[in-house]
Chains A and B, each alone.
Chain A
Amino acid sequence: MREVRISLVGFGIVGHGVLEVVRRKWGLLRKMGLDMKVVSVTDINGTLFDETGIDPQRLHAARTLEGIANLDIIGKEAIQKVDSDLVVEVTPTNIVHGQPGLGHIEEALSSGKHVVTSNKGPLVVAYNHLQEMAQDNGVMLKYEATVGGTMPLISLVEKNLVGNEILGIRGIFNGTCNYILTRMMEEKYTYSYALTEAQDLGIAEADPAYDVDGIDTAGKVVILANSIFGMTAKYEDVSVTGIREITPEALNLAWERGYHIKLIGEVPALTVKPMLVPRRSPLAVGGTLNVASIETDLSGTITVTGLGAGSIETASAIVSDIVSIYTSRQIDG
């Protein structure tokens, strides 16, 4: 049985999901030979530490660690001091400077800990630098959940399509925009009405700019460009147009001519813009779904779709990444 001591940094929607998935899948993970223990949880209030593994039940009802933390350390200090094998970094995304996640991931990698993250910011700002650090320290950095949430895209390309040349990837990488456009088309809602509906349902943030202006999608385009296409793209290299100007009339006109309008991100073109998607195209998925078409030289075009966000869904991608780190190591011998 391989013991995996995990430090969870960030205890929000995804952080709670990770604890829940590890709890639910504990038996299955053991069958795979992995004894996963979350030994610490850190948020801005402090750190809860238990070297025998934190009982997830204990944190189930807690929204934050206020009044629960037993160590007065946070951030890099917590990563450095807690003895663990792997850090799950799930703090808020900042695409401009990548912090606080960037510092957390650097600290973890330089102290020889694997990192699994759903936080786009650090990867958008410093993907190549972080992968080099991981390599220099003999550890792995995994980030499936940063692009398309639960939809297996990075691992699909890295594992199952290995040997193929990837010619291009295009898709819908933001569930909020997809939801808004779907509702505008189905119900003839105006943009602002569909947005408030999405906000009421918790699908859109109070400040929706990050999603609707295409910033989030552009961040994912940068991550794909650097990780799958070996580029050195920066956020500024992406040409970005969001969905605020789309009207129900335009959606209706497109529909009559056999098209949807979707916010599409493309690599290596490095573009994010609303595009006409034929109604019968595999990219024409509705609601909050994400989708990606991967064009390859040997396997043709392969399309995957799935939920791009959600607590348990995102956590499932994180746990899969953790498992893959240890299973691929076993093969290495």
Chain B
Amino acid sequence: MRLSMDLELQDIPGQLMQSLEPFKKYKGNIISVVHHRDRKTPRGTVPVQIVFEIDPSNIENIKKHLEDNGIVVVRAGEDRFIEETSVLLIGHVLHSDLGDTINRIDSTGFAEVEDLSLRMPGIEEPSSAYLRIRATGKEEIGKSLSILRHVGAEKDLLVIEPIEAEKI
């Protein structure tokens, strides 16, 4: 089973290696480790996000092992959507089958539309939709945006992407 965990490490050498030990011990298969050195918490700890595959019965052991070593486990669980982005659609958003548009993202398995708001000024007027998309990683965010670009071209919708989601 694929799981993710948010940890907070002390900013001292060796902490990261130490935090990975229990995953090895309980036969977890680490998929990604994101070390946010640039996003220190007010307490001075460094957030780390680990995505891994493991037999779920071992998760409590891992948590205990980490906590015994002074590592803060902020969250552990199935939530594997660790990246998010925002997109705005303008056009006949509803009448071009909004359900289908959302499903194109949700059906990928690596991303989902988490939040949606609509503005419909009038029947014949173009409407707008705001979508928040969450995905398993940066690359998957990129793939989701590319799917939306295609859907936009197909359904004549203007797709407005955020600048931070794309590399320059």
Contact = CB atoms under 8 A, between A and B. Distances in A.
Interface of A: 167-170, 241, 245-247, 249-250, 252-254, 256-257, 259, 261, 264, 266, 269, 273-278, 281, 283, 293, 295
A169 B168 CA distance: 7
B72 interface: no
B168 A269 contact: yes
Given A169-B168, A276-B86, A250 B163 contact: no
B168 A250 contact: no
B119 A276 contact: no
Contact of A253 (B117, B126, B158, B163): B117
B88 A168 contact: no
Given A257-B86, A259-B86, A249 B162 contact: no
A264 B129 CA distance: 20
A253 B88 contact: yes
A274 B161 CA distance: 8
B168 A266 contact: yes
A6 B99 CA distance: 64
Contact of A247 (B126, B132, B168): B126
Contacts of A169: 168
B119 to A, nearest CB: 4
B163 A241 contact: no
Given A247-B90, A253-B130, A276-B86, A283 B163 contact: yes
Contacts of B164: 278, 281
Contacts of B160: 250, 254, 261, 273-276
A291 to B, nearest CB: 12
Given A254-B88, A274-B158, 9 more contacts: A241-B158, A247-B121, A249-B121, A249-B127, A250-B119, A253-B119, A257-B132, A275-B162, A276-B160
Given A168-B168, A253-B130, A254-B88, A277 B119 contact: no
Nearest to A170: B168
A246 B160 CA distance: 10
A289 B119 CA distance: 29
A245 B159 CA distance: 11
Interface residues of B, number: 24
Residue among A170, A241, A245, A278 with the highest chain B CB neighbour number at 10 A: A245
A250 B161 contact: no
A257 B86 CA distance: 9
Contact of A245 (B121, B126, B132, B162): B126
A251 B92 CA distance: 16
Interface in B117-134: 117, 119, 121, 125-130, 132
A167 B168 contact: yes
B167 interface: yes
A183 B145 CA distance: 28
B91 interface: yes
Contacts of B132: 257
A252 B119 CA distance: 9
B158 A295 contact: no
A241 B127 CA distance: 18
